[in-house]
Structure 1
Amino acid sequence: GIQVATGTYTELLQSCPAFTHWTETITHKLRSDSTSTDTSSSQLNLSPPTSKYLTPFSLLQTDKGSDEKENLLLALADKPIQKETIESKRTGSIDLNVYIRYIRASGCGILGLLCLFLMFAVTSTTFLLVNWWLGRWSNSERIRYGSTNIMSNCSSMEQSPITNMSNEEWFKERDKNFYVLFGLSSLSVILLFIRTMIYFLSCHITARSLHNQMFNSLLRAPVFFFDTNPIGRVVNRFSKDISSIDEKLSDVTYHFVDVFFTISSTVILIAFVQPLSLISMVLVAFIMERVRRVFTPAVQDIKRLESISRSPIYSHLSSSIQGIPMIRSYGAQQTCIQEFSHCLDQHTRVYSIMLAMNRWLGMRIECVVSAFVGFLTFSILLTYQNLPISDLSLILAHSFTLVGSVQWIIRLTVDVMMQMTNVERVIEYIDLQPEESPNVKNLRSLPPQWPIGGIVFDNLSFRYSSTSSWVLTNINISIQPNEKIGIVGRTGAGKSSLIQSIFRMAELNGRILIDNVDTQQISLYDLRRHISIIPQNPVLFNDTIRINLDPFGEYSDIEIWNALDEVQFKPDTIDGLQQQVAEGGSNFSVGQRQLICLARALLRKNKILVIDEATANVDHRTDELIQLAIRRKFVNCTVLTIAHR
């Protein structure tokens, strides 16, 4: 080209008419495009794509009569930008199916759950019997050694057997009371230990089962899911939600069941000793249910909002850690701090409302239960002469503890429902639609030597989701075995989409035949394990070099060393194949990571190799090593190479 003029932007506008005309043309073009109807620019057709991006062109005067038009814009990127979806939030009460699936995840079933509840009931009854037997023993002591005025309140049936006993008989009676009390106390402690161990073990199994199910579901989720959901949402499910299921949910459900059976046994005891208290119990139960119905739906929605508002915190933190060099280079620390503070404020605002709602519930529960205790005490004052002092003391003591128990169980009821929203969110990811249904039948069995390397694209169309536009349209290509094909084009031409269609990374329309076998008629596992790829950004796992090269343990150490020798890669430590690879391979250079990926492809010895800009980010020497290894070792393979040049 020819340099027309030099200078700043303002100087060029004043001194160079060609530059002024160019900027005015571009501005007018962009304004006209912004007001016109947008059309899909992500399809790959035979006609030239609609331009959207600026490209440099000559400022020299050209023939006005020429039929050729300057392309001012380039095509969009070949993979359309997927908009981030809004995190879903369910409304209303927790579905019964969520509770059922949580119970099934423990593996104990309904029968095991009933046995566990029976153990809770027996333990609560045993604790109550301990107190009742202790009261009976103390009443006997009072009758034996009490004064006449005190004993006048007791019936003659209680006085005569004890007061008429000899000292030897009384000592035997006292020993019997002691051994019964000791046996009941020991039994209650043993049952408490057994039920606690069994319960928390089953909760641990449940949390682990839900975690593994969600992990397996995510591994089989389509690529479109990861394009439209930020990493913070996934991290939120695996960190906070699983942590709440593993720790908080197991704790609140344990206490809920325990307090439920404790209150049930206490209410039965009070109703048996003082039937008049049943009237106030019914009234208290009615009021408590009304309070619960008002409080529960509101706090469940607040809990869902709290979980959703937590995801942006994880997303922002993850993005900031990954982009620290860019943030510092542009001096954007203050901006990142402000955005992070905004995310924290959004979460704190919801969390403070949830705490205020808990205080609202606590005040109303305390008022209602205090009124019940007052009524119970008043009724006892009216009928105390007909009851033994031990029974009166027992029901008064349990009625005062009932105040805290009722308030506690209402809170626990709400807490269980709140924590079950975490199970609901985990189950949402468990139910993700997989790339390939595990129940697919009539899959074609592959020949022993498949594939040889022939690839045919038969009227292929490709898009990344059912709601997006087609990226590739009506592609017809025939590739013979052992051919070396270069896929070259500018950004947005559809190179990566063509490769992704071979791996069935998204929805296909048409056919891709590999050695006359339709790829949609075989399993994804069989398809992808027979095709090797060397990506532009090498993927390494946080494990040893051996695991990175042979994750399934299919090859011997000699074969792995031979593959490393072919690419001239030598581990730097004496650990050899057991050398640890840091997260993302950060302890290796980009070139070394690429060589490891090349060795991995050599080791698998597949007949089809895909190379996606493998040498774009490496030095000249590593580029030569990769090119040489590909020419020597993949002579009898079909090689598809993506390149921008």
Structure 2
Amino acid sequence: MAYWSGGPSGWSNNNARNAKHANDWVDYYAEIYNWKLITRFFPFIKKHKKRMYLTILAMIISTLSAYIQPFLIGNGVEIITNANKTIIERTKQIDITAVALLITTVITIGAQSFQRYNIGYIGQNILLDLRKSLFAHFNKLSMSFFDKNETGKLVSRATSDVVVLQELMTSGFLNGFGDLFGLIITIIFLFLLDPLLAFVIIATIPILIIIMIFWQKFAAKAFIRVRQAIAIVNGTINDNLSGTKVIQSLNRQEKNLNDFKIVNKRNELENLSAVKFQAAIIPIIEFLSALTTIITLSIIAIRTSNGSLSLPEALGLATAFTLYIQRFFNPIRDIVLQYTQLQRAMAGAHRVFEILDTKPTIYEKNNAKPLLKPSSNILFKDVYFEYEKNLPVLSNINLEIKQGESIALIGPTGSGKTTIISLLSRLYDVSEGCIFINNQDIRDIKIDSLRNNIGLVFQDPFLFSGTVYENISFGKKNTSEQEIMSILESIGGSSFINNLPHGVYSEIAERGQNLSAGERQLISIARALLRNPAILVLDEATANIDQVSEKMIQDAIKIALKGRTSIVIAHRISTIELADRIVIINKGSIEQIDSHQELLKTKNIYSDLYKILHSQ
């Protein structure tokens, strides 16, 4: 089995291909810092700029007050150990130092509390705005986009990726800024205390940079392989949950469990590999921190022994520098510990803005006009279409449908029938040629006006979780219960509604699983008719219903088609016979157009189908 893991490439059990994909992921997602991507968030942050400025100010105050404490503590140690001053003098100075420490502690706590509350507020609002932007953009994107992208991946981008970005732009961004500001404050205080010792500590920076560059080069691939591995695990779980019925019917439980053990074990090994890198770098940083402390204390001891420092001064410097060395290395530790979060955030930013930057292929012209009424003549003129370049699906489609006429499209699976109706409602645009409604090129018609005048009933009706009322009124606001019942009665659907516990306000389970196929289709037909469309399109509306429900749906279709221009895609003769003319589509082209009776007089796809069904 092959498992997809997202990113610029897929994934399979082919090791050579997987190695290539790992490198692709490194090139695409290995960044832990990308200023261009970060600036894309500024419009979202700008709405909260006053609060953000106050939060940054609180962070500066809390960092400053926290980082001044080692200086005060070192000064306090020097005062306590200074025998040249009286106890009263030392007590008075220690009291001042203690009050200063208390004040800085209170300021730190207050500023940090204010900072954390505002980080949470800004973060949740950024999360809200990002998801709203993504949701709105999803609704604008064309069907071709959804054809090429898996639903699970898109849901992941709107949920987990956005959460990671929110964490980056709030706690991650401010913590990083706080660490940098704290590092600057530390260096300033180190130079104020003793420039020579300060240079000793700063000398470790080039060493740290070289180590981090070397470490990041190898760690990036390790952490990305971890994300690949967990993506494979998640994909495997998703496939198994979605296909439970098939798995159990084929008795594949044990085989699938063994497959899962393999990918889960791989996930464990990749995580252990990443842990090794993290485990290797932390001791190196701790070693440098300890070595710097030893060198600093040794220099202080030498200077004390040669008389250049008094004992109180030496003890004060030793205390302050020991504390500041810990503060100096803290940001480096944070970068290592937050490395995977930063990497995930940058990868998430790539993925989120990749969607937001995607332009719809179906767009409305600035001078588009509403669809003219009441006429609804349809003309397909020299229409060609291809989903992928150089792979034609429709060729030279010429078809005129007069107002009030019903046309049935028949042909083998994959012949292009559904594509024709998708082009009519502009879910896709023609590659060549034109489609006219009332002598208007549909590309010159306002999209909402076009689609409001076309009612679509699909083979597998999609029902949303909610009530029957909410599903039928989905495409029309402020619909009354009376309108709903009137539509249902007109197509013979009121009886089953009356048998539901709460009528039209009865709850529908996910995808309508608590209703029969026929009942779901009746709701779908009612939803399409509620807007009273001039054109009605039925795409295999009777394909998935049983014989008991068929007559109910056929009666509903007869009523729905009456007086409307309609296109029906069907394989059932009983549905095809309702049409005025039948169009035979084969390999993307029109082979023949005629009435039911005329087509039976010659040998063709329809007459062959008719004979087969009536011979049974």
Report the TM-score, using the length of structure 2 for normalisation. Answer: 0.78
1:541 alignment partner, SS class: coil
> 1:494 maps to which residue?
416
In structure 1, C-alpha distance between the alignment counterparts of 2:392 and 2:460, rounded to whole Å: 26
1:590-611 Cα shifts (integer Å, max 9, x gaps): 1111111011112111111100
In structure 2, C-alpha distance between the alignment counterparts of 1:177 and 1:498, rounded to whole Å: 83
1:282 aligns with 2:221: no
Cα distance, 1:390 vs structure 2? 7.1
1:553 aligns with 2:477: yes
Range moving further from structure 2, 424-433 or 245-254: 245-254
Cα distance, 1:500 vs structure 2? 1.4
Residues 352, 401 of structure 1: CA spacing in aligned structure 2 closer, same or farther, 3 A cutoff? same
1:604 alignment partner, SS class: coil
Residues 179, 346 of structure 1: CA spacing in aligned structure 2 closer, same or farther, 3 A cutoff? closer
* CA RMSD across the alignment: 3.2
Supply the AA of the counterpart residue of 2:356. I
Cα distance, 1:586 vs structure 2? 0.9
Supply the AA of the counterpart residue of 2:480. S
Range moving further from structure 2, 227-236 or 593-602: 227-236
1:227-283 Cα shifts (integer Å, max 9, x gaps): 333344334434543443355775544443333333332232122102112322332
Aligned residue runs from structure 1 range 45-84, under 5 A = none
1:457 aligns with 2:364: no
Select which of 272, 275, 278 maps to 1:355: 275
In structure 1, C-alpha distance between the alignment counterparts of 2:46 and 2:124, rounded to whole Å: 11
For the Cα contact (< 8 Å) 1:366–1:407, is it kept in 2?
A: no
1:408-443 Cα shifts (integer Å, max 9, x gaps): 233156345313222222222332332435xx5424
In structure 2, C-alpha distance between the alignment counterparts of 1:496 and 1:202, rounded to whole Å: 46
In structure 1, C-alpha distance between the alignment counterparts of 2:43 and 2:222, rounded to whole Å: 27
For the Cα contact (< 8 Å) 1:571–1:579, is it kept in 2?
A: no
1:86-117 Cα shifts (integer Å, max 9, x gaps): 34734363532211123443335778656543
> 1:99 maps to which residue?
38
In structure 2, C-alpha distance between the alignment counterparts of 1:391 and 1:571, rounded to whole Å: 87
Supply the AA of the counterpart residue of 1:583. E
Supply the AA of the counterpart residue of 2:420. L
Cα distance, 1:468 vs structure 2? 5.0
1:577 aligns with 2:504: yes
Residues 479, 244 of structure 1: CA spacing in aligned structure 2 closer, same or farther, 3 A cutoff? same
> 1:541 maps to which residue?
464
Cα distance, 1:517 vs structure 2? 1.6
Supply the AA of the counterpart residue of 1:590. A
1:550 alignment partner, SS class: helix
1:620 aligns with 2:547: yes
1:528 aligns with 2:448: no
Select which of 317, 332, 351 maps to 1:392: 317
Cα distance, 1:536 vs structure 2? 0.6
In structure 2, C-alpha distance between the alignment counterparts of 1:460 and 1:276, rounded to whole Å: 81
1:505 aligns with 2:427: yes
Supply the AA of the counterpart residue of 1:601. A
Supply the AA of the counterpart residue of 1:102. F
For the Cα contact (< 8 Å) 2:459–2:543, is it kept in 1?
A: yes
Select which of 459, 469, 480 maps to 2:402: 480
> 2:336 maps to which residue?
411
In structure 2, C-alpha distance between the alignment counterparts of 1:320 and 1:187, rounded to whole Å: 54
Gaps of 5+ in 1: 1-83, 153-158
Select which of 351, 367, 388 maps to 1:425: 351
Residues 407, 96 of structure 1: CA spacing in aligned structure 2 closer, same or farther, 3 A cutoff? closer
Supply the AA of the counterpart residue of 1:417. L
Residues 230, 313 of structure 1: CA spacing in aligned structure 2 closer, same or farther, 3 A cutoff? farther
Query: Which one has the largest radius of gyration?
Result: 1
In structure 1, C-alpha distance between the alignment counterparts of 2:173 and 2:50, rounded to whole Å: 18
In structure 2, C-alpha distance between the alignment counterparts of 1:303 and 1:432, rounded to whole Å: 28
For the Cα contact (< 8 Å) 2:55–2:114, is it kept in 1?
A: no
Range moving further from structure 2, 125-134 or 634-643: 125-134
Residues 468, 190 of structure 1: CA spacing in aligned structure 2 closer, same or farther, 3 A cutoff? farther
Residues 227, 352 of structure 1: CA spacing in aligned structure 2 closer, same or farther, 3 A cutoff? farther
2:376 alignment partner, SS class: coil
> 2:139 maps to which residue?
219
In structure 2, C-alpha distance between the alignment counterparts of 1:101 and 1:320, rounded to whole Å: 37
Supply the AA of the counterpart residue of 1:606. P
1:462-512 Cα shifts (integer Å, max 9, x gaps): 1223x3511001111111111111111222322111111112233412111
Cα distance, 1:367 vs structure 2? 2.4
Range moving further from structure 2, 272-281 or 635-644: 272-281
Select which of 503, 527, 538 maps to 1:600: 527
In structure 2, C-alpha distance between the alignment counterparts of 1:266 and 1:313, rounded to whole Å: 44
Residues 295, 426 of structure 1: CA spacing in aligned structure 2 closer, same or farther, 3 A cutoff? farther
In structure 2, C-alpha distance between the alignment counterparts of 1:279 and 1:121, rounded to whole Å: 25
For the Cα contact (< 8 Å) 2:456–2:538, is it kept in 1?
A: yes
Range moving further from structure 2, 521-530 or 192-201: 521-530
In structure 2, C-alpha distance between the alignment counterparts of 1:458 and 1:164, rounded to whole Å: 102
> 1:5 maps to which residue?
none
Aligned residue runs from structure 1 range 118-517, under 5 A = 118-130=57-69, 132-133=71-72, 142=80, 150-152=82-84, 159=85, 180-246=100-166, 250-384=170-304, 385-386=309-310, 388=313, 391-392=316-317, 394-399=319-324, 401-402=326-327, 405-412=330-337, 414-419=339-344, 420-437=346-363, 441-447=365-371, 450=373, 452-465=375-388, 467=389, 469-508=391-430, 509-517=432-440
Cα distance, 1:451 vs structure 2? 5.9
Supply the AA of the counterpart residue of 2:353. I
For the Cα contact (< 8 Å) 1:217–1:430, is it kept in 2?
A: yes
For the Cα contact (< 8 Å) 1:233–1:314, is it kept in 2?
A: no
Range moving further from structure 2, 522-531 or 585-594: 522-531
Residues 311, 453 of structure 1: CA spacing in aligned structure 2 closer, same or farther, 3 A cutoff? farther
Residues 535, 352 of structure 1: CA spacing in aligned structure 2 closer, same or farther, 3 A cutoff? same
Identity of aligned residues (%): 22
> 1:564 maps to which residue?
488
For the Cα contact (< 8 Å) 1:253–1:416, is it kept in 2?
A: no
In structure 1, C-alpha distance between the alignment counterparts of 2:467 and 2:318, rounded to whole Å: 69
For the Cα contact (< 8 Å) 2:464–2:511, is it kept in 1?
A: yes
In structure 2, C-alpha distance between the alignment counterparts of 1:124 and 1:375, rounded to whole Å: 27
For the Cα contact (< 8 Å) 1:608–1:637, is it kept in 2?
A: yes
1:472 alignment partner, SS class: strand
Residues 375, 108 of structure 1: CA spacing in aligned structure 2 closer, same or farther, 3 A cutoff? farther
Residues 513, 529 of structure 1: CA spacing in aligned structure 2 closer, same or farther, 3 A cutoff? same
For the Cα contact (< 8 Å) 1:460–1:473, is it kept in 2?
A: yes
1:191-225 Cα shifts (integer Å, max 9, x gaps): 11111111232222223333333333333333333
Supply the AA of the counterpart residue of 2:462. V
1:86 alignment partner, SS class: coil
In structure 1, C-alpha distance between the alignment counterparts of 2:479 and 2:99, rounded to whole Å: 68
Residues 513, 350 of structure 1: CA spacing in aligned structure 2 closer, same or farther, 3 A cutoff? farther
In structure 2, C-alpha distance between the alignment counterparts of 1:517 and 1:373, rounded to whole Å: 81
For the Cα contact (< 8 Å) 1:266–1:398, is it kept in 2?
A: no
